[in-house]
């Protein structure tokens, strides 16, 4: 398989090669069995990748929410921070807080 062929394209090419046109109830050929197995395997791989991406997004949102809460909590002590600390907190807020939540 060259760099431009996707597994889906290869599977579709195999279907074309096999000229699958058997009557209902006829036994599938070994090639058809292989194609079906590869199709199921590819679908499972895509499902696993999607689940991994969704878990990563959930984890990223969890951390983002936690960081936002910590930055907001620090604003409670804003008056006690040094000018350097205030500047750093403002920079953090610009990075992590939505515009509407900033003081």
Question: What pTM value is reported for the model?
Answer: 0.43
Is 93 domain-assigned? yes
pLDDT, averaged across the chain: 76
Is 50 domain-assigned? yes
> Into how many domains does the chain fold?
1
- Give the domain extent around 78: 7-18+27-101
Q: What is the pLDDT of residue 33?
A: 78
pLDDT tens digits along 5-24? 566 666 666 665 555 555 55
* Token digits of residue 2: 């060259």
Average pLDDT over residues 60-84: 87
């Amino acid at each position: 398989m060259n760099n431009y062929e996707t597994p889906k394209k290869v599977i579709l090419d195999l279907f074309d090669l096999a000229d699958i046109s058997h009557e209902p109830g006829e036994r599938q050929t070994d090639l058809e069995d292989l194609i079906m197995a590869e199709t199921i395997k590819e679908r499972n791989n895509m499902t696993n990748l999607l689940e991994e991406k969704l878990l990563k997004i959930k984890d990223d949102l969890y951390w983002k929410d936690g960081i936002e809460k910590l930055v907001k909590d620090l604003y409670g002590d804003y008056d006690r921070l040094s000018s350097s600390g205030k500047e750093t907190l403002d920079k953090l807020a610009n990075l992590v807080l939505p515009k509407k939540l900033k003081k």
